Structure 1
């Protein structure tokens, strides 16, 4: 059944009675019959992956102090080993991004999600059973690989399942669950030791693999594999029994047919491929160059200077700010739009990193002002973290999941994830060198200049994807009108 026939069938006599003027568009008529209950359920199950990812990122903060002072000399971390325990996750995640790009094309989005839970569980199991420092590092690498796969697969899975009215909300839940995982492990670290913390961190990925069995593969992947009947069943599960899913299925199928079967390197000459790829890669680079890792690195010291003696509590406060503003971003994403939030986020971070530079400059010039200026550092930290959570935290991942055609989604997303984690590793490892070369003030003013560049880049190059189907977004880059 072709798209035209589906369009004719979409507005049945019942719909025409509800809309006698005929002003209701096909898309509005279709959406009026859609129920989101199962879509929310599938999204909730899939974001157990990002929650696991958050547990991995946050685990080192409470675990390193314990492992640095543990009685067992075989497991005790020195300063260099502790540094690698924290940062080696980014190396594993970069590898996981490459592996995830291959997996999503070969075995699909659903099975890739189920697969990524295995290195999460195996990694934490190795940490729990560790007899030496090398086992701790191997466990961290494995959980890093799982995190890299997750950071690629889950945004794709959600964007290919969700319709345009809730895609921003559900896509932003990826970052929300990451920061919830980070805060969760910070809170758990107040009450349990590193062994039990690793056991707790194994719970979300275990639930993921068990519950994902009952969730569908994405309709777009099924149609790209020529599985029309399975795609209709998946859409019927996701949209509810009343929605005429054959119409949406035909629309997606038409877009898949136009693209061809499989990705070739020659496709990189296509403006519908290279334009979104360059934008998404740039977003990943700019995200890491905002200075987010530097701010997180300094957070505990800043809170201590502001008379927060409990550094663990400081970490929880930082996590709480991230959760609140990431949740705000998720709630307003489909109303405010991606560009507006990126620009607001960039402005907040540019102001706060500039203020950080001023703080460090004044501290170096007049040490007795330390007590008087602690409020400036505290306020700058809060504004920066809130600004990052509102835009530059969740949106680059959301846009990555929206802008690529189906046939290049695995390859292009792998390039983006590799770029993001490689930049995270480079910035983290060179941060101290930058501080020595440029001074603390100069380093944060450099971050401020990148935040300003973020604003300009967003205003000029980043398209607004709010309210558009994935096929309409693709048509925008190709310069054609979407279905």
Structure 2
């Protein structure tokens, strides 16, 4: 019986929103005619090219996250906002992201990973233009919600697409490109925020998605999604271009066929089926990891780092904020190199332990600052210690807690519940991100030391959770990972 017969459920297979294209179809049959395009046909280069194109999505994600920090004073002054109004503005991207997260899984399942990214790009572009030309809070808030909606879809779709196209020996390293792009986006927003006016900064925000849309026409759709939809010819063609036309893909094709044939093409499963370990365990790990990623307070630090440094007594807070962005990029590059060497689980334990220690240092420094005179030399030293602690927190977070939860979520969720379960996990992540960014300004006014103590407790819980329950996925195919939960 053919693969199409094995997976057919009586419906016509869905067609991808963006076809996989013809530029590589010609090459599969006439490779001699494409000698000048040999670089494109190399396995690692073709996969890397696809990853670099979709990385424009998380670049937009990072730019959105970093926008509020360097612009807080200027927007507040120009539009006459209160602290609570700007806090609402900063957090509304998370509200939009929650809506996008709810829709992301079903959109990605119904029209494909590439089509999902097109859907995400359009509200992002409109949202940035609304912010750039806002004269009052209505357009400002609307623009922030729209950019958040697009980011919510991106945050689910890009990790899943990368995991589904990457060979197993490169999946960890390529997966960290998602987090690397986010950190680059944050750093760019911080850097440009020092030199350009906030409206210009908003206009520049349209560039990543404006470039992403045409770029998607030049890369193949996820072969695993095509296989799930019963599009056998497109599935094998897509996988061939990703692995190179000179590569024998028969073994990987058969693995994917067996995996898809053993699952239903239904996007919904019965609730009773979630009691099976193959479903509840990966779903629990994916959701909890993404929640704990936010509960250490990282997005509060990223969104309002300028205010945090000012409260620590640092005069050049904008420059220090840019330094935070640079540390993120450097550390994520290091994580990219370590991911497929040290493994996901070990890096998560090291990262969460480091975040816990740094948060403890920051909390103690702020508590001591409240008890000494602002004119004393100790006050200045404690300010420096708190900044070092924040930088250390960002460094250790980016080493593992930043990229790895998204990678693990995209690796361990079974393909027949990936859309629904991924949406739930992404929604939870953005909901807690909204809570953190909405409350951090008020918590810092209450007690800076108390705020970082709360985050430290959640970070310590992360260490225990990873140590006891998170599985290692390094060096295993997605099919092998899923079979291990049966």
TM-score, normalized by the shorter chain, greater than 0.5: yes
Rounded Cα–Cα distance in structure 2 between residues aligned with 1:378 and 1:67 = 25
- Quote the RMSD (CA, aligned, Å): 2.1
Separation in 2, partners of 1:80, 1:433? 9
Q: How far off its partner does 1:68 sit?
A: 1.9
Contact 1:175 1:393 in 2 (8 A): yes
Q: Are the counterparts in 1 of residues 88 and 438 from structure 2 also a CA contact under 8 Å?
A: no
Equivalent position of 1:62 in the other structure: 70
- 2:404 matches 1:395: yes
Structure 2 partner of 1:30: none
Q: Secondary structure at the match of 2:296?
A: coil
- Which residue of structure 1 lines up, in the alignment, with residue 380 of structure 2? 371
Please give the per-residue CA displacement for 1:202-248, whole angstroms capped at 9, x wherever unaligned. 11101100110111110100000111110111011100011122321
What is the match of residue 213 of structure 1? 217
The corresponding residue for 1:291 is 297
User: Per-residue CA shift, 1:258-317, capped at 9, x if unaligned?
Assistant: 112213133312211110000111111211111224444674355447764222211110
- 1:95 paired to 2:96: no
Instruction: Provide the secondary structure at the position in 2 that maps to 1:104.
Output: helix
TM-score (norm 2): 0.87
Q: Which deviates more from structure 2 when the two are superposed, residues 209-218 or residues 78-87? A: 78-87
**Residues 69 and 306, structure 2, Cα contact 8 Å, conserved in 1:** no
Q: Within the alignment, does 1:471 sit opposite 2:479 as a pair?
A: yes
Alpha carbons of structure 1 residues 432 and 365: separation in structure 2 relative to 1, 3 Å:
same
Of 248, 252, 277, the residue aligned with 2:252 is 248
CA distance in 1, matches of 2:450, 2:204: 41
Secondary structure at the aligned position of 1:407 is classed as: coil
| C-alpha separation in 2, matches of 1:159 and 1:271 | 22
* 1:265 aligns with one of 256, 266, 270: 270
Q: Of the candidates 141, 147, 160, which is equivalent to residue 143 of structure 1?
A: 147
Partner of 2:370, secondary structure, is helix
Q: Which residue in 2 is equivalent to 1:165?
A: 169
1:306 to 1:77, Cα distance in 2 relative to 1, 3 A: closer
Q: Distance in 2 between matches of 1:64 and 1:299?
A: 11
Partner Cα distance (2:386, 2:187) in 1: 22
Structure 1 residue corresponding to 2:391, chosen from 382, 391, 399: 382
- In 1, are the aligned partners of 2:69 and 2:305 still within 8 Å (CA)? no
Q: 1:348 to 1:37 in 2, by over 3 A?
A: same
Measured at CA, do residues 446 and 280 of structure 1 come closer, stay the same or move farther in structure 2, by a change above 3 Å? same
1:406 is matched with 415
The aligned residue for residue 423 of structure 1 is 432
Q: Matches of 2:410 and 2:113 in 1, distance apart?
A: 12
Q: Say how many residue pairs are matched.
A: 444
CA distance in 2, matches of 1:187, 1:308: 18
Q: Distance in 2 between matches of 1:370 and 1:205?
A: 45
Q: 1:52–1:432: structure 2 CA closer, same or farther, 3 Å change rule?
A: closer
Q: C-alpha separation between the residues in 2 aligned to 1:188 and 1:447? A: 29
Q: Distance in 2 between the 1:289 and 1:280 partners? A: 15
Shift in CA distance, 443/132, structure 1 to aligned 2, threshold 3 Å: closer
TM-score (norm 1): 0.87
Work out the CA distance in 1 between the residues paired with 2:241 and 2:105.
26
